[in-house]
Amino acid sequence: MTVSVDHLTLPAVWLRDNCRCPECADPRSGQKLFGIADLPADLAVAAAHDDGTTVTVTFAPDGHVSTFARDWLLAPAAPDERTEDGKEFGAGLTTLSWPDFRADRTAALDALLRRGGVLLRGVPTADRTVLDVARGFGYVRETNYGTLFEVRVEENPTNLAFTGREIAPHTDNPYRDPVPTVQLLHCLVAAPEGTGGDSGLVDGFAAAALLRAEDPAAFAVLAGTPVTFRYADPDTDLSASRPLIGLDPRGRIREVRFNNRSARPLRAPHAELVAFYAAYRTFAGIIARPDLRLDFRLVPGDCLVFDNTRMLHARTAFTESAARHLQGCYADLDAVASDLAVLRRRTPVDTLADLFAGAGAADYLGEDVTQAVHMLQAATLAEAAGAPDTLVAAALLHDVGHLTGAVSGADLMAGTDNRHSHAGADWLGRWFPVAVTDPVRLHVAAKRYLCAVEPDYLGRLSAASVYTLGVQGGPMGPGEVADFAAEPYAAEAVALRRWDDAAKDPAAPTRDFAHFRPVLERVLRF
């Protein structure tokens, strides 16, 4: 048996592999606690229930139960942002000041990832500052050239870069595997105006996409022919073989290596050599089109940062007597994407803040406090009791299911169980670990549990709470009590329940949402 949610059909092994219960995934890190071969070979779905918000699956042969948010099951696959799918074309060169970059790196990281590069202006021109800039984009990639390299005229140049010659559009270090994915060039001294040394960038993804549209056969040849690049000096002998246009397994452009200086002879049958050179020239012709090239001039304090798997860089010739001096270094895109994701991780807390300010202002089930004040008061009590961050967060968020669920708190008061504890836990599960979501999920069960095990508990409940108890199933029977007590977060759920019951006093001290922001940020998982 498989499980179907709308158009989607999921096999048992997929569902089990993605179970996030505390037995299957570590509540703190979210990491899976089993290997794929640890799952029963004859795993099957014994039963599945879809309540419109949550899908509950019971597996055979071991009886394991997993719950999934329906929305989460239906989420589309995340696209590979490193391919052409994640890119923006033709936007020009994004330029930011050094102070703006230092205040907030988001725009620069985003421009580097999606547009291929960013120009920072006003960077201090002190020696080795390019390394500080690189650290704002992740980690410096040290190579045989050192942590940084100097680009200036040398007496015995080992590289064309150390002369005054023109350098045609190219990517750097194609002889490395993995290639450095980010390059920085920081201008300390420019050649005098009018003596050359201007810069250029060409979007290699845009050029490759044009080649695919104009000459698909040539595109296929370049994507399918490995070219060996090599760099050798007395201490170094680097080589790597890669196609000029690298594709992902689905055929999307993912990398361009273009550097005739370091390409080694292609060894292949005559017909392949002819086809390769025809395609190579056609691609070079597209790369040389003036409308694909961004021309600009680096002045002292400018630092150009670009995606070396995508953007080809170039410079015009300059008079060798000029003291032109750049410092460059390499870094990598994975850290850039990671930093950007972390910077954007703030959003869930903003979403929650909006929820408290908006829907949270509604009445709380006929009590004298609003939904928001009720939850803030529960969190205030949890914090005063010295609860850990995860439990303070759970107290703060325990009733979000009333605000986000398909069925409202008003429906609950009209006699329909809105299963708000489950709906809330599922909704929060996209951001928070089980240590937050399980106490939320169990806080209604905890009321039914306490009614069963504490003789005077029911008498202390508010009238509204006694009413909803009936809708939610009444006090637990002995079997349910045992099951509840065996839940990994039973004790936390009971503690949360007591704060919940006490958080209905309009006169009690209540911290505001801003006070709890740092707590939420500390426990966010994704």
What residue ranges bind ligand OGA (CB under 6 A)? 151, 161, 167, 172, 199, 313, 315, 326
Q: Which is nearer to ligand OGA, 316 or 465 (CB)?
A: 316
399 binds, among ligand OGA, Zn ion, none (CB under 5 to 8 A by kind): Zn ion
Using CB under 5 A as the binding rule, the residues of this chain from 408 to 447 that contact Zn ion are none
Min dist. Cβ of residue 464 to Zn ion (A):
11
CA angle 478, 482, 486 (to 5 degrees): 165
Min dist. Cβ of residue 190 to ligand OGA (A):
10
Q: 153, 277 in Cβ contact below 8 A?
A: no
Min dist. Cβ of residue 199 to ligand OGA (A):
5
According to DSSP, the residues that pair with 241 across neighbouring strands are 228
Q: Which is nearer to ligand OGA, 308 or 437 (CB)?
A: 308
Q: Which is nearer to ligand OGA, 172 or 501 (CB)?
A: 172
Q: Which is nearer to Zn ion, 203 or 500 (CB)?
A: 500
Closest CA to 98 of 125, 75, 71, 128: 125
Q: Which is nearer to ligand OGA, 196 or 473 (CB)?
A: 196
> Which window, 83-91, 293-301, 334-342, 499-507, contacts Zn ion (CB under 5 A)?
499-507
Amino acid identity at 442: L
State yes or no: residue 399 binds Zn ion (CB under 5 A).
yes
500 binds, among Zn ion, ligand OGA, none (CB under 5 to 8 A by kind): Zn ion
199 binds, among ligand OGA, Zn ion, none (CB under 5 to 8 A by kind): ligand OGA
Q: 215, 232 in Cβ contact below 8 A?
A: no
**d(C-alpha 111, C-alpha 92), whole Å:** 10
Sign of CA dihedral 510, 516, 519, 525: positive
Q: Which is nearer to ligand OGA, 199 or 418 (CB)?
A: 199
Using CB under 5 A as the binding rule, the residues of this chain from 111 to 130 that contact Zn ion are none
**d(C-alpha 526, C-alpha 490), whole Å:** 25
Using CB under 5 A as the binding rule, the residues of this chain from 441 to 470 that contact Zn ion are none
Min dist. Cβ of residue 167 to ligand OGA (A):
5
Q: Which is nearer to ligand OGA, 172 or 307 (CB)?
A: 172
Helix (H) or strand (E) holding 295: strand 293-296
Question: Tokens 């600009």 appear where?
Answer: 296
Q: Which is nearer to Zn ion, 3 or 314 (CB)?
A: 314
Min dist. Cβ of residue 420 to Zn ion (A):
9
Q: Which is nearer to ligand OGA, 330 or 484 (CB)?
A: 330
State yes or no: residue 501 binds Zn ion (CB under 5 A).
no
Cβ neighbours around 165 below 10 Å, total: 15
User: Given candidates 203, 389, 438, 500, which one binds Zn ion under the rule CB under 5 A?
Assistant: 500
According to DSSP, the residues that pair with 229 across neighbouring strands are 240, 263
- Cα-to-chain-centroid distance, residue 117: 19
**d(C-alpha 464, C-alpha 117), whole Å:** 59
State yes or no: residue 172 binds Zn ion (CB under 5 A).
yes
User: What's the burial of 481, exposed, middle or buried (CB within 10 Å: 0-12/13-18/19+)?
Assistant: middle
Q: Which is nearer to ligand OGA, 102 or 325 (CB)?
A: 325
Min dist. Cβ of residue 286 to ligand OGA (A):
20
Please, what's the b/e burial string for 234-269 (b: 16 or more CB within 10 A of its CB; e: otherwise)? eeeebebebbbbbbeeeebbbbbbbbeebbeeeeee
- Cα-to-chain-centroid distance, residue 162: 39
Min dist. Cβ of residue 299 to ligand OGA (A):
12
315 binds, among Zn ion, ligand OGA, none (CB under 5 to 8 A by kind): ligand OGA
Min dist. Cβ of residue 280 to ligand OGA (A):
20
Query: Which runs of E-coded beta strand occur in 43-116?
Result: 44-50, 54-60, 65-69, 94-97
> Which window, 194-202, 453-461, 466-474, 493-501, contacts Zn ion (CB under 5 A)?
493-501
Q: Which is nearer to Zn ion, 171 or 225 (CB)?
A: 171
Q: Is 427 helix (H, G, I), strand (E, B) or coil?
A: helix
> Which window, 193-201, 249-257, 348-356, 399-407, contacts Zn ion (CB under 5 A)?
399-407
User: What's the burial of 6, exposed, middle or buried (CB within 10 Å: 0-12/13-18/19+)?
Assistant: exposed
Residue 258 DSSP symbol:
-
Ordered DSSP codes for 380-412: HHHHHTT--HHHHHHHHHTTHHHHHSSS-HHHH
Query: How many chain residues bind Zn ion (CB under 5 A)?
Result: 3
Compute the half-sphere exposure of residue 63: CA atoms within 13 Å on the CB side of its CA. 0
> Which window, 394-402, 431-439, 446-454, 479-487, contacts Zn ion (CB under 5 A)?
394-402
Min dist. Cβ of residue 174 to ligand OGA (A):
11
Q: Which is nearer to Zn ion, 105 or 402 (CB)?
A: 402
222 binds, among ligand OGA, Zn ion, none (CB under 5 to 8 A by kind): none
Min dist. Cβ of residue 133 to ligand OGA (A):
16
Min dist. Cβ of residue 379 to Zn ion (A):
11
Q: 499, 505 in Cβ contact below 8 A?
A: no
Residue 32 DSSP symbol:
B
Min dist. Cβ of residue 233 to ligand OGA (A):
15
> Which window, 3-11, 142-150, 220-228, 392-400, contacts Zn ion (CB under 5 A)?
392-400
For Zn ion, the binding residues (CB under 5 A) are 172, 399, 500
